[in-house]
Amino acid sequence: MKLTLFDLDHTLLSGDSDVLWCDFLMIKGVLDKKLFAPRNADMEARYKSGTVGLQEFANFYVGTLAGRTEQEWEPLRQEFLADWIVPRVSSAAIELVDKHLDAGDLVVMTTATNRFITELTAIYLSIEHLIATEPEQKKTGFTGHTTGALNMREGKVTRLKEWMKARGLRLKDCISTAYSDSINDLPLLQAVNQPVAVSPDAQLLVIAQGAGWPVMHLH
């Protein structure tokens, strides 16, 4: 079986979906821009450098959902997809995903961003399988916390293996390819047969060049 894994932010998407979601909510007046914008910029910078704490990162962005239910968020989520996400997905990214789908690969989007924000993007790209950070929900709505293992750094490999085991599959039995831009995804890239660096950050570019990995740009 051929397994193909796609990171989302700065890989298939030109931008970071968590950061874009926050920018969107600030424009819509849901978040106070004066208070939130500096925190958002700091979190993005520390994520890119690989220095942010995993739980701190996850709770910061999942916290934007707190206090509302899925149904209450849905109109904004649909607007976010149409106006902020779709324009940032290039034709080259769509063509690459379609190439793997048409070849019969088992295609999975694996992202540190939470499922509620990213599942519509996966649907838009015709990617059936999504592994994402899971936001906690109760009857009153999102709690602002995560549940289960975070889908970040080494957690992406852990979550992938758990996902495959539940389907009677093993990573070592697959011909596997992974696409990502980030040093945060180094564990995932090292776990597959064919790692591909997509518009890699400075740290990942050095590693990719040293290891002879393909480097490509989709945007």
Residues with a known catalytic role: 7, 9
The amino acid present at 87, given as its one-letter code, is P
Return the residue matching tokens 């070592």: 172
State the DSSP code for 104.
Answer: T
Per DSSP, the three-state class of 120 is: helix
State the DSSP code for 84.
Answer: I
Show Cβ contacts of residue 107 under 8 Å, excluding neighbours closer than 6 positions.
4, 6, 97, 100, 101, 127, 128, 129
Return the residue matching tokens 């934007």: 64
